[in-house]
Amino acid sequence: MTDTTRFADHGVLITGAARGIGAAVAGRLAEEGARVLLTDRDGPEVERTAARLRGRGLVTEALTCDVAHRESVEAAVARAVEVFGSLDVLVNSAASCSPDTELFEDGPDEAWARDLDVTLTGAYRCCRAALPHLAATGRGAIVNIGSVNGLQDFGNQAYSAAKAGLGSLTRTLAGHAAPRGVRVNLVTPGTVRTSAWQGRDAELEAIRPLYPLGRVGEPEDIAAAVAFLASRDAAWITGTTLTVDGGLTAVHTGFRAALDHRREA
């Protein structure tokens, strides 16, 4: 059962919360008692998401925020503190993922810059703005949303480089923030069934056998991991990467299948 009090009186700010993982995290933390400010560049959609959660009796607010702009980020942090009285948890879920060109050398500078600016520098902007407020509560936590793309090659070079950088930022910031009582951790999802995969059921089915646990992830799988790392249940955990990928990066299913095929032959 969900603990409806684990985040009681906690003010939470989530970026990229209009849909997918960010929206699922917002719902999970709100269900556990948090007061959540959902932010996203898509203002109308993030307001609809927050309204749906309010319809379930949860305490949520929505705000348009573009993490590519410092002023927008600082306004979002100020809004969370104003509305909730404190900021206890920051979840950086906003990301940009540009398609690869056929040849690496044909990739445009603009796509590379956009993916890094939103995915990595955007998280940096949010952490920078939120850190003094997180430190003031004595229980502050930052959870960054990474990707297995930051660990292995799954394509999307710029996005992958940004997610790998987010892992490094998590570790270095954890060292800086620990004396101030703020924990910083990273959740690294595998393939998750979000709107990015809409209309691509055949592709999801094709990659499903690569996952040792036999399925791709759901946004709620990632939300559960975020809730743990953001809570006092993880009070002695900082600077770590929690990989939530159904075993994808731990088990080479193709290699095992090839060996099994040879034995059967």
Q: Per residue in 211-225, is it b (16+ CB within 10 Å) or e — as a string? A: beeeebbebebbbbb
For residue 67, report the phi and psi dihedrals to the nearest 5 degrees: -70, -5
**Does the annotation count 159 as an active-site position?**
yes
What is the number of other CB atoms lying within 10 angstroms of the CB of residue 163?
A: 25
For residue 128, report the phi and psi dihedrals to the nearest 5 degrees: -60, -45
CB 28 within 8 A of CB 227: yes
**Does the annotation count 216 as an active-site position?**
no
* Active-site hit among 7, 84, 159, 211: 159
* Active-site hit among 163, 177, 219, 242: 163
Q: Which amino acid is at 34?
A: A
Cβ burial of 159 (10 Å; 0-12, 13-18, 19+) is: buried
DSSP letters spanning 100-137: PPSSGGG--HHHHHHHHIIIIIHHHHHHHHHHHHHHHH
Cα dihedral value 131, 6, 32, 215, nearest 10: 90
Catalytic residues: 159, 163
